[in-house]
Structure 1
Amino acid sequence: MPRGLELLIAQTILQGFDAQYGRFLEVTSGAQQRFEQADWHAVQQAMKNRIHLYDHHVGLVVEQLRCITNGQSTDAAFLLRVKEHYTRLLPDYPRFEIAESFFNSVYCRLFDHRSLTPERLFIFSSQPERRFRTIPRPLAKDFHPDHGWESLLMRVISDLPLRLRWQNKSRDIHYIIRHLTETQGTDNLAESHLQVANELFYRNKAAWLVGKLITPSGTLPFLLPIHQTDDGELFIYLPDDDRRSEHCFWLCAFLFYGLCTAARSAGRVATGNSAR
């Protein structure tokens, strides 16, 4: 293999990821509109498109690499140099975590999941830990119950970007307060506050308000699934059994982690597009 080919291969993989990510943002940018129009068929199609996009672009890059190398076999030293060049492209790259995963996908496709060693793949990130702690802009906004929880929740809901009208906003707020009071207690709740993600997540037929309930005794995930009636009015659904509550708890943790990862990787908060 001629010298310098390693850098070309590394650049080709990263450019392929950029193309995939750009198309991903195009698909997900319509999430709020699909939700507000109750276009559930389009929601499912967008989900399929996102999955297909990743697989499609991995395949495109693999074909490009086979053309670049003329189908010649590569030795271990060559592959290590490719990874080394790829790593050097990432220090100023905002989506480094996802780019490393894309590299792994291309490698696995090229070599049929053979020789999967830490030296050849990004098992752990190549970037220093400080990059994981650096957030380019605030991910969330704090809400304190200075005038009570009813006022707090009214501010939270009124800040949402949704354009549909609410079926009964006051009713939903009272349901939330009742649930919080039952689970946290009046005194504990009075000393607690909310931290709410700046963006909604859209998944299936719901828009998810995601945040954290910060109490004197600890921090808990906070999740409100917003649905539509058949008349196109918004309402908040609160699960009334332990199994669904547990499901919401873990989904909340997953979504909030997804928001943090998306914001770090994209260099900004993904505009309601991280999980749909």
Structure 2
Amino acid sequence: MKHSPAYRLAATVLHGFDEYRARFKQITSDASRRFRDAAWREAQQASAARINLYGEKVEETLDRLQRTFAQEVLAHCETWREARGHYAQLISQRLDYELAETFFNSLFCSVFQHRHIRNDWMFVYSSREDAAHRSGIELCRRYYVNGDWAGALAWALSEAPFESPFADVERDSQLGAGLLEAQLPVAIWQADDAQVELLNSVFYRNKGAYLVGRILGGGEQVPLVLPVLHGEGYGEQQGGDPCLHLDTVLTETDEVSIIFSFTRAYFQVEVPVPGEFVGYLKQLMPHKPEGEL
């Protein structure tokens, strides 16, 4: 079975996907260093490279398939039906199986010019659609407010995995608490069970870093985004301030949706479990299509 054309096709596609994911993660994992060093030009180059990466790896894998398999094998739907089954088995224990299925679909569509779109031959529906599979990986950190909103924001900022210090966490926290008081529904602001919940991963884009999560309490919830910037001029001129500061506090769904109005590929963010990560963001922005997250 492992020597059959269908199995080798599945393995070749998965090899291409593994190459894509390895390079994608490599670019992403260096985002915190680029932010720390204010390497803005390098950050732009990394963003462009990562956006182009998917198409490049699909093309490379397609070329590998065309060099490895005879045309009558590669262009036979029955080969892909068998390959789909092998591929589903190969990715069955992966945390990024949705992305792996999408990569398989991209190769299938490249071969058949977007014809023959059937679940028999590609992943129109996920191979684990009905599986209530949870990774068990904790995506978030949490803090119970207990009436101290400035303290909650101080925790959010000081416990974030930044390598540069904040210029004045207490000042930022007090200012942020004032913004929260003006923005939050009374039910949340006064709730005994109010808590701040933030994703462990930091979102990096352009010159900013974003802490993303939500505030819950009193049976309600609102999204929470804390944009963090370096001091004025850092990375652009001699003597710029390398210390961090909180830029503002965003709790309106529409405002948060604007932050995510670009595809997630523009963000440099380490995602341990893609499906669960997107599912969490969907809770913050329920009206936003998953394809835009």
User: Shorter-chain TM-score: which interval?
Assistant: 0.7 to 0.9
Alignment map for 1:181-220 (pairs within 5 Å): 181-185=181-185, 188-191=188-191, 192-220=194-222
Cα distance, 1:187 vs. partner? 5.8
Cα distance between partner residues in 1 of 2:270 and 2:87: 21
Q: Which is further off, 101-110 or 141-150?
A: 141-150
Give the CA deviation at 1:263.
2.5
Structure 1: distance between partners of 2:132 and 2:228: 33
Matches within 5 A, 1:1-276: 4-72=4-72, 74-132=75-133, 134-146=134-146, 148-185=148-185, 188-191=188-191, 192-229=194-231, 230=233, 231-238=241-248, 246-249=254-257, 251=259, 262-265=271-274
Aligned residue identity for 1:98:
L
**Shift, 1:22, TM fit:** 0.8
Runs of 5+ consecutive residues of structure 2 not aligned to the other structure: 234-240, 278-293
How far is 1:205 from its partner?
Answer: 1.3
Report what 1:274 is aligned to. none
- 2:135 partner letter: I
Q: Once structures 1 and 2 are overlaid, which stretch shifts more, 112-121 or 188-197? A: 112-121
Classify the secondary structure of the residue corresponding to 2:256.
helix
Could you tell me whether the CA contact under 8 Å between 1:172 and 1:235 is conserved in 2? yes
Q: Which structure carries more relative contact order (alpha carbon 8 Å, separation 6+)?
A: 1
In 2, Cα distance between equivalents of 1:83 and 1:139: 30
- Partner Cα separation in structure 2 for residue 187 and residue 5 of structure 1: 61
Superposition RMSD on alpha carbons, in Å?
Answer: 3.0
- Three-state SS of the structure 2 residue aligned to 1:262 is coil
**CA distance in structure 1 between the partners assigned to 2:137 and 2:202 by the alignment:** 16
Distance 1:252 1:59 in 2: 28
In structure 2, the residue corresponding to 1:225 is in which secondary structure? strand
How many residues align? The count is 261
TM-score by length of 2: 0.79
In the superposition, relative to structure 1, how do residues 23 and 158 fare at CA in structure 2: closer, same or farther (>3 Å)? same
In 2, Cα distance between equivalents of 1:174 and 1:261: 29
User: Residue 30 of structure 1: CA displacement?
Assistant: 0.9
Identity of matched residues, %: 25
Give unmatched runs, 5+ long, in structure 1: 269-276
1:5-63 alpha-carbon deviations (Å, 9 max, x no partner):
00110011011101111111111111011011111111111111112222221112111
